[in-house]
Each structure stands twice: as C-alpha cells, then as structure tokens.
Amino acid sequence: MNDHDDERALTLTRYIDAPPHKVYRAWTEPSLLTQWFTPPPYTTPRAELDVRPGGSNLVAMRGPDGPEILNHGVYLEVKPNEKLVVTDAYTRAWEPSAKPFMTLVLTFDPEGQGTRYTARVLHWSAEDKRQHEAMGFHEGWGKATDQLEAVVAKL
C-alpha cells in the first residue's frame, strides 16, 4: 500500500459460502459471468474472456433502455483460483484505451469452507474514484456480489 491507496481505491470484501475455485470460475467462464455481473435492471448479454496474462476481455452490459456498453480490458496477472488482475488501460494486446479508469485486483482466499472474496478497484485518479462512488459502486458491486453468490451456490 502507498499513500495514494485511500484516495484512489474502492474495496468490497465478503465471505462467500463456496470454495475459491467456484468463485474464480464465475469470473473466468463467460457463461457464468453473464449470469451475475451486472445488477438489475442492467444485464450482461455477452462476455469474451481470454484469461491469461496479456489476454483481453470484453464484457458487454446493457441498460433497460440503451445500447450495449462495452468494457474492454487486459489481464495483467492470473493465478487460478487465487487472484485475477485486469485493467482497462488497454483494450487488447497492449493497445492503449482512450481513457483508462481502473485496475481491478480480485482475490479468492480460502476461509473455512468458503472464500474471502475481495474486489479492490484502483482508479487512475482520486476524481475517477469519486465518480465511481457516485455511480453507485458500493450498492452496485454489492448487488452483483449477491448474484455471484447465488450462481456459485448452484455449481
């Protein structure tokens, strides 16, 4: 951690009653990710995930009245069943994005029979963090995590 963490980071941590490999699968298998990734009334109509360091991803979200919102990123670190790091600083194969916003660090730590799940969102600036909070980070990511829990409970 450094001095900028508090002014640029948002974190969600939760215990999930499923082993780490199931929670990791929900993040890395498109057919699972599309079931839980966005809180209603948004949906996730498709996801393309090349889960390897340097691999790209595309997650499409759709609001109730709008077109698809495309979220591009590149995986920086992949430790199966333990950790994923992905950034929107690149869209694919080290092609810079027009406006980087965040790097997401996901950890899946064993805890009892379940997982201590942590999503740490590191923003490029304090203003980006404030914008993400204003967009409803805590509520939205919380609802998405509720949905994640429901998906992994069925695996």
**Phi, psi angle pair for 55, to nearest 5°:** -75, 150
User: Residues 79, 107: contact at Cβ < 8 Å?
Assistant: no
Q: What is the pLDDT of residues 110-133, one digit of tens each?
A: 999 999 999 999 999 999 999 999
Q: What count of other Cβ atoms lies within 10 Å of the Cβ of residue 15? A: 12
Domain map (residue ranges) of the chain: 9-153
User: Residues 72, 50: contact at Cβ < 8 Å?
Assistant: no
pTM exceeds 0.85, yes or no: yes
CA dihedral sign, ordered 18, 46, 52, 140 = negative
Nearest alpha-carbon partner for 9 in 146, 107, 104: 104
| Distance (Å) of CA 113 to CA 25, 39, 64 | 17, 26, 37
Superfamily of domain 9-153: START domain (3.30.530.20)
Q: Which residue stretches of the chain have pLDDT < 50?
A: 1-4
What is the pLDDT, as a whole number, of residue 66?
87
What is the pLDDT, as a whole number, of residue 5?
62
